[in-house]
Every structure is written in C-alpha cells, then in structure tokens.
A and B are shown apart, each in its own frame.
Chain A
C-alpha cells in the first residue's frame, strides 16, 4: 500500500520534571475545564485521580452483577439438576431447598470466576483494549514514560483544544519538550 501523507493531530504532549510538578499541572488542566486529556507517569501517584478530577469507575457495578450472575447461575444449575430433573439422595440429605449447602462450593467458585472475568474484561473494555497502536507511541520523547518521564497529553478532540492557546497553556504550566503528536492515517 502506498503511504499517505495525510496526518491527524492527536494532541499536545508536554513533559514535566517530577511527580509534584505534574500533580499541580494536572490540577490546573482540570480547573481549566479540559475533558480529553491524560497523564502518563512511571509509577502511580497518590491523589492524582483527585487532581485530575477523574470520576470513580463504573467497573465495580459490572463486577457486582457479574458475581451475582455467577451465584445465581451456579445455584440454578445445581438445583435444577440435583433437585428437579434428577433428584439425587446423598448420605440421606434432602433433595429440596435445604440441599443448598452442598451447592455452596460451586456457587462460591462461579461467583469468583465471573467476578474475575468481568473485572478483567470489563476493565479492558473501559480502557479500549486491546488495540494495535496508540498515537502517542509515535511521539519522540514518550518512551521515557516507563522510566523517568512525566507526561501530560491534551488531545485535539477536546472541545477546548486550540493549536496555539493550548500550547501556550502547557508552556505556562511549566511543560517542556512540547510536541504536537500526529497520528498517521
């Protein structure tokens, strides 16, 4: 395929010198009202969620209902097969609702299994994973984010994004090596 020269602007990437700097920069970006932006740091920074104004994830609700589905599925599977379709008397135990303790291990396991699955795949879905590439990988300095670089990226799809003003804004926050990241189409 011939390479096109068409490119789409992904956003501005700015580097900050440390955890404290990027924390305060995040607070200011939040207060400026940006929506589509993210912070990339080599290690988790306590309180950064609040500084970025990130809302609590909806994931716990997925996990709750995933787990509840597991409990109910396991119970029904056991109950229908052992008590209704083919009543199985084991050690003189009843074959009715009071057999439930025997189903507990399965209910327990399936609850955990489905909770774990919803937690894993739910977080993948919310993060937009898996994906083949990310525009930021094309940025010149971005590789440092997994070593000693603290990056803040304001994306072009943000309604408040402006080619000149956003750059000036990031410079005002103390951002260095500001780079316009472009995504090849």
Chain B
C-alpha cells in the first residue's frame, strides 16, 4: 500500500537457492554428530554391550525417534494446513514446513529397529512379550485365567497383535511419505513451470487426507508410546501428542528460518509479519497443549480409577515429580506469558530464544512420556526376570542416560543434516506460487 511496497519485480524470478558451501561448517558438524551418535547406537542396538544395555537403550532410541517423529509430523501438518486453508501469508515460509515434513523418510529408516530387532521390541512393549510367551490367542486366554492382569490384553488382542501392529506402522509411514512427497514435488514443479494447477491439486489432495493424517498421528502415538503400558489408556493421547509436535515443529521452523536469513537469504520475502503470525501459532499451541494436557490429567485425577492413575502416579514419584511440575510451569506458564506480547513475537532475536526454549520443553515432554517407563518395565515382569531383577521394581537405572544422549545425537544429527541439504535442493520459497506477493506483503 505504501509507496515502497514490494512487487514481484523486486524478487528474484527463480527464487533463492541456499548455497550449501556457505553452511558447510554447520552441516559438517551435524553429520559428524549424527554418525558418531549412530555408531554408538549401533553398539547398543545390536546388543554388543549386553542384553541389559540393549534393553535400556530401546527406550533411548524410542525417545529420540519419537521426539523427531513428532517434529517431522508437525512439518507435514503445517504444510497440509496451509494448502487446505488456502493460506496466502505462509507461502514465503511454506518450504520450511515441506522440507521438515519430508524428513519422514529418515524416520521410517530409524523405525526399522523396532520391527527388526526382537531385543529392542520386547524391551519396550510388554504386550509383545506376553503374546509371544502365550503363543496364540487361545494360549493368552488360558494364561489370563491364572494371571488376571492379562485379561485386558486378551480383550485388546484384536488391535494389539504383532501382524496388525506392523501393518499399521507400514501404513503410517506409507501415508506420511506419500502425502508430503507429493506436496513437495508439486510445489517444486511449480517453481519451474509456474502452473496454477499445482496449487489447486495440492489443496484438493489435503482436504480429505487431513482426516487420515489425524488418525495416523493418533494411532502411531497409541501404538508406540501409549502401548508401553498395555493396561493404560487415554482418549486424549493422540491430540496431546499432536499438539506438542505441531508446537515443536513450528519452533524448529522459525529457528531454521532465522538461520537461513542470517546467511543473507529471504531478506525481501520474509518480514516481521511472518514472525508475528508464526509466533501467534506458537502461543495458540502453547495454550492448546496445556488445555489437552490438563484435560487428560484432570479426568484421570478426578475419576481416580486404578488402571488410569498408574501413568501419573509413576510420573509423580521420586524425581519425576519435578519433571511433571516443569511441564506445568515451564512448558505452559512461562512460555504462555513470554508469548503474550506482540512486540516479542515480532522480534526475530527474541523469537529464536523462545523457540529454543520451546524445543527444550518439547524434549522434556517426550522424555517425560517415555523414559519413566524404562526402569519399572525392565525390573519387573518377564523382562525383569530375564535380566535378573527380582524384588521391587526400580524407578531409575543409573547410566542409561548415556544411551539417551547417543540416540538423540545420532537421529538428531542425521535429521538436521538431511534437512539442511534438502533446503538447498530447491528455492527457499515457492517462487511461482500465485499467492507469493500476497505472502510477501502480508500484514496482520
């Protein structure tokens, strides 16, 4: 509107390409961290350090895998949302979501140990151990007559059986890889041919599959994390995981955007208005996550039913109590208050710190979901017997954190390295998108 407003002539016709040579230092460091982490992880994963360490590491691997899986999933969600809502503002930053979502290929590779290595699988999911021990559904039903705890597993057999579990995992990854692959492919095709049809078919593609996406997020979270304790259930679970993932992935995208801008790119296409919009999404998802997290806690706390309270009892015992409180006061309250100010949301430097803080809190959230299950699971039941534990279940296994760091460095390093390389493969923004000008000059 003002006399100095940007027109398409001010922008490079073929977009801006990230020069990998410029970011080679960071990229090299990420690759080194990734390979070192994976090398250590392989020792753990294949049991070279013993069955005990392998079992402990199963949780480390799930923790690191799931953290990055939620971020990747969030990237897919944001891409689909921009298409399905025909968003104009987001065109300039959409490729950050697309490239983050496209990491899901790597997540599929990192998920292979869960399916292929029996030691990892049975350390995590007791229901698999119990079913294999019983041999068949009939065997399980017979065993349940003696051990009444198993009755719930008999009832859940239609869903929790290995064949269906593997088929579902394949479907989740097939769907996620397919949809983000298509969206990214069409978006990049448009960079060269400038055809509007890509915009329309992307929108058409996202509408109905948004429902499937919601189911995939929900049930993958149920299959891999909620099923760590097959007796526990919560209908809030899927949306809780989704809220955290969308929150973390937006934080990651803002940091990546700031990093790319610090290298001298996207100076004309991205303005403080984009930071403001993305910051608003951060605020919304801070509140949304807290709303869901509290609803889940509240209903279980109020109803006070034995099967349900176990989840929170464990996480309120010993040192875990501090982490539960950190989620309330740091994950929600502190972030909420920081993000209230419009001025802060419009200041990239502040937003970078806030987003780092958000990623840290998302990490704590995923850690808090998965790691508390490790010690009690491995020191009781059939796995505990196999590992030589007899007595009361433990709350904490000393030394297991080394595996957490290795797995996190391995998966994180490789994911970040692949992400940066992918950013460089095409223009940093969809340069022929029909809504580009609308996005560049967006105000709110």
A pairs with B: yes
Cα–Cα, bound, A92→B301 (Å):
11
SS of A interface (majority): helix
Given contacts A64-B340, A101-B298, contact A47 B304 (CB under 8 A): no
From B2, B298, B342, B443, contact of A23 by CB (8 A) = B2
From B3, B298, B304, contact of A24 by CB (8 A) = B3
Cα–Cα, bound, A31→B399 (Å):
67
Query: What A residues does B342 contact at CB under 8 A?
Result: 56, 60
Considering only CB atoms, which chain B residue lies closest to A90 in the complex?
B302
B1 near A19 with CB under 8 A, answer yes
Closest chain B CB from A103 CB (angstroms) = 11
Closest chain B CB from A56 CB (angstroms) = 8
Q: How many residues of B contact A (CB 8 A)?
A: 12
Closest chain A CB from B396 CB (angstroms) = 24
Q: Could you give, for residues 164-194 of chain B, a 1 whenever the CB lies within 8 Å of some chain A CB and a 0 otherwise? A: 0000000000000000000000000000000
Cα–Cα, bound, A51→B1 (Å):
10
A91 near B294 with CB under 8 A, answer no
Considering only CB atoms, which chain B residue lies closest to A50 in the complex?
B2
B1-15 contacts to A (CB < 8 Å)? 1-3
A51 near B2 with CB under 8 A, answer yes
B320 at the interface (CB under 8 A from A): no
A47 near B301 with CB under 8 A, answer no
A53-93 contacts to B (CB < 8 Å)? 56, 60, 64, 91-92
B304 near A91 with CB under 8 A, answer yes
Cα–Cα, bound, A40→B409 (Å):
58
Query: What B residues does A27 contact at CB under 8 A?
Result: 2
B297 at the interface (CB under 8 A from A): yes
A102 at the interface (CB under 8 A from B): yes
Query: What B residues does A102 contact at CB under 8 A?
Result: 302
B3 near A104 with CB under 8 A, answer no
A20 at the interface (CB under 8 A from B): yes
B1 near A92 with CB under 8 A, answer no
Query: What A residues does B302 contact at CB under 8 A?
Result: 91, 102
Closest chain A CB from B429 CB (angstroms) = 21
A134 at the interface (CB under 8 A from B): no
Closest chain A CB from B376 CB (angstroms) = 23
Considering only CB atoms, which chain A residue lies closest to B304 in the complex?
A91
B1 near A46 with CB under 8 A, answer yes
A104 near B298 with CB under 8 A, answer yes
Cα–Cα, bound, A104→B290 (Å):
12
Given contacts A101-B298, A104-B294, contact A47 B340 (CB under 8 A): no
From A47, A91, A104, contact of B443 by CB (8 A) = A47
A45 at the interface (CB under 8 A from B): yes
Query: What A residues does B304 contact at CB under 8 A?
Result: 91-92
A47 near B1 with CB under 8 A, answer yes
Q: Could you give, for residues 282-308 of chain B, a 1 whenever the CB lies within 8 Å of some chain A CB and a 0 otherwise? A: 000000000000100110011010000
Considering only CB atoms, which chain B residue lies closest to A105 in the complex?
B298
Considering only CB atoms, which chain B residue lies closest to A51 in the complex?
B2
Considering only CB atoms, which chain B residue lies closest to A92 in the complex?
B304
Q: Could you give, for residues 128-167 of chain A, a 1 whenever the CB lies within 8 Å of some chain B CB and a 0 otherwise? A: 0000000000000000000000000000000000000000
Given contacts A47-B443, A64-B340, contact A20 B1 (CB under 8 A): yes
Closest chain A CB from B60 CB (angstroms) = 32
Query: What A residues does B301 contact at CB under 8 A?
Result: 101
Cα–Cα, bound, A102→B294 (Å):
11
Considering only CB atoms, which chain B residue lies closest to A64 in the complex?
B340
Cα–Cα, bound, A102→B302 (Å):
8
Cα–Cα, bound, A19→B1 (Å):
9
A45 near B298 with CB under 8 A, answer no
Query: What A residues does B294 contact at CB under 8 A?
Result: 101, 104
Closest chain A CB from B346 CB (angstroms) = 11
Query: What B residues does A20 contact at CB under 8 A?
Result: 1
Query: What A residues does B2 contact at CB under 8 A?
Result: 23, 27, 47, 51
Closest chain B CB from A74 CB (angstroms) = 15
Closest chain A CB from B188 CB (angstroms) = 31
Cα–Cα, bound, A6→B348 (Å):
56
Closest chain A CB from B3 CB (angstroms) = 7
Closest chain A CB from B417 CB (angstroms) = 40
Query: What A residues does B298 contact at CB under 8 A?
Result: 101, 104
Cα–Cα, bound, A4→B7 (Å):
56
Closest chain A CB from B78 CB (angstroms) = 24
Cα–Cα, bound, A20→B342 (Å):
27
Cα–Cα, bound, A64→B2 (Å):
33
Could you pull out 6 A-B pairs where Cβ atoms are within 8 angstroms? Answer: A47-B1, A47-B443, A51-B2, A56-B342, A60-B340, A64-B340
Residues of A near any B CB (own CB < 8 A) = 19-20, 23-24, 27, 45-47, 51, 56, 60, 64, 91-92, 101-102, 104
- Across the A-B interface, give the 7 residue pairs with the lowest CB-CB distance, nearest first: A46-B443, A47-B1, A91-B304, A23-B1, A101-B301, A47-B443, A101-B298
> 13 extra interchain contacts, Cβ-Cβ under 8 A, other than A19-B1, A101-B294?
A23-B2, A24-B3, A45-B1, A46-B1, A56-B342, A60-B340, A91-B302, A91-B304, A92-B304, A101-B298, A102-B302, A104-B294, A104-B298
